[in-house]
Structure 1
Amino acid sequence: MRGTTMRVVTLAAAGTLVLAGCSADTGNHPDGAASAPSGASADRAVQDEPAPAEGASTKKITEQDAGGTHLARTAALTTTVDDVPRASAKVRSIAEASGGYVSSEETHISPGDDGASDDRSSAEIVVTVPVDELDTIVSELAGIGKVTERSGDVQDLSQQYTDTTSRVGTLKKSVARLQELIDSADGLEEIVALESELTEREADLESTLAQQKALEKRTSTAPITVDLQSPGAAAEDPSGFLAGLASGWGAFTTALGAGMTALGAVTPLAVLGLVIAGPVLWLRRRGGRRVRTDVT
């Protein structure tokens, strides 16, 4: 039993050295770690790292690796259009034609007498498109109507992606070497201890792979928020001194109306209270006078 315990301790120490060796290996060879595939499962992670599969998405990621930068881009447009439903359909068409999709959509339609939208309709559509097509698609979307606002944002995720990719490589090597130790173990306690360590490493690997995949998606696609407004809806958001004065007057009249409403609601109760309290107060005052007269 003591010999078996010593073997368990020895194998546990070996597992620790494996992790240390993997970390040192990864630190000296960052480029090798970057080639880890993002879609591998825990079972495939224990094997040697395969070459990246060929495909459009993998090609884009490889091109980003070669450039050394991983940028997450977003864009937003506010456009005035004559027909909001028709413009919304065009936004969806442009996104789908580029290989993108609609992430979310919220539309407010005010039908006119003829059933068509009037001057108070609006819509907010978020489309996700390939990042390489972002500038082209934004230009196409801007042509739908009159652009009143346009913005964009870029976030550099290069360091985060590099760190995550490096950790994926370290964990994959750790899992593979722990599997080798399990295959060469000859005692039940040794196998149980190593398999427990292997389970933890595989869970860490799956979590890190999910983070890597999310980063790849953020840097290979870009969301565009398109705010479509009819001329009347766009004019409903005035600014300046007169707009502030009108807003303040509106708030004052609203508060005044609420106060008058509350006063009207309380008045009947106040009258009823006076009707009840008046005689009571009169009787109490009369009783007080009578007591003072008796004392005198």
Structure 2
Amino acid sequence: MRSRRPATARLALLATAAVLATALAGCSSSGDEAVSSSAGDDSAVAQDAVGPEIAGVAGADTDDGRSIVTTGSLTVVAPDPVATAQQIATMVDTVGGRVESRSQSTGPDDERTAYVRVRLPADATDDTIRALSKAGDVQDVSLDSADVTSTAQDLDARIAALTTSTTRLRDLMADAASTADLLAAEKELTSRQADLESLESQRAQLADQVAMSTLDIAIVPEPPAEAGSGGFTGGMAAGWDALVATVGVAVVVIGVLLPWVVAGALVLGVVLLLRRRSRRAASAAPDDAAPDPAAADVATPARSGS
């Protein structure tokens, strides 16, 4: 039977190696080109670890190996939005997609509007958008693409490292020489297994986002057509509209000019007041300077007598 000391030493050695492997995997996303290349090699191991479903989806991203997440939105104008929403759901199901959410609302004029969020195979997104023109008038199309290749590679490397770590811990549990060693390895395995499952869940979600694009579709009713009227009634309506428009323009013009008119009136009033005062002063000055005729007559005889 094995001694307890060598088993304990082996437990410590393997646990340390597992910790180092996990730490190195966590730093893989911030490394240089060499580290990125290594992470790419590790992703093959990760695909074997997380299962054929995720590996198959991740391998079908793009021809150059990049992982692209596509999201978008558009508007469809149709006579009956609710019926059109059902038609779109059928089209999406035909190409292998699914309806993720669906709702409808009624406006103040009893106009119904429908909203649909669909998930489409990434390689069928463009064709499906073109096919939507059969359901109505497609408007306001917006598509966004996000490259998540580095995120996928980082998750793959971390999954590979944790998979190796858990395998070694299971081997250590099988070779444990004591209950203490077994409990220590089991505790560490439980923690690593939880981390591994979390990473696998994130990787599966990312793979689903890459494989299936997300499209938000708003289906709105057609705007009501304006009925034109002719003859005398139409002329009256046109004349009234023209009068209202003219009055509106006149009111705007008056509103713009009114402050200037008030300011001009004040300035003009001040100028007129100053001119009136100056005229009064000018007319009063000659009256004060003119001699008194009576005084002139009295002074003349006095000069003659002398």
Q: Does the TM-score normalized on the shorter chain lie above 0.5?
A: yes
Q: Matches of residues 73-152 of structure 1 in structure 2 within 5 Å? A: 73-109=70-106, 120-152=111-143
Query: How far apart, CA to CA, are the structure 2 residues paired with 1:233 and 1:176?
Result: 68
Unaligned runs of 5+ in 2: 29-34, 227-244, 246-306
Counterparts of 1:1-296 in structure 2, within 5 Å, are 4=4, 8=8, 11-21=11-21, 29-36=38-45, 49=48, 53=52, 59-64=56-61, 67-109=64-106, 120-232=111-223
Q: Where does residue 268 of structure 1 map in the other structure?
A: none
Offset of 1:11 from its aligned partner?
1.9
Q: Distance in 1 between matches of 2:170 and 2:187?
A: 11
Taking the aligned partners of 1:164 and 1:234, their CA distance within structure 2 comes to: 55
Q: Is the 8 A contact 1:12 1:194 kept in 2?
A: no
Calculate the aligned-residue CA RMSD, in Å: 3.3
The alpha-carbon distance between structure 1 residues 233 and 37, as it changes in their structure 2 partners (threshold 3 A), is farther
Q: State the percentage of identical aligned residues.
A: 22
Structure with higher Rg: it is: 2
**Native 8 Å contact 2:117 2:216 kept in 1:** yes
The amino acid that maps onto 2:203 is Q
Q: TM-score, normalised to structure 1's length?
A: 0.63
For residues 79-118 of structure 1, what are the alpha-carbon distances to aligned partners after superposition, in whole Å with 9 as ceiling and x for unaligned? 211122221121011100011111111112579xxxxxx8
Q: Is the 8 A contact 1:119 1:232 kept in 2?
A: no
Q: Structure 1 regions of 5+ residues with no counterpart? A: 39-48, 112-117, 236-241, 243-296
Contact 2:70–2:214, Cα closer than 8 Å, also in 1 = yes
Partner letter of residue 187 of structure 1? S
Cα offset for 1:223? 1.3
CA contact (8 A) 2:46 2:160 kept: no
Maintained 8 Å contact 2:118/2:214:
yes
Higher deviation after alignment, 123-132 or 27-36? 27-36
Count of aligned pairs: 216
Moved over 3 A (4+): 3-10, 21-29, 49-53, 57-60, 232-235
Structure 1 counterpart SS, 2:44: coil
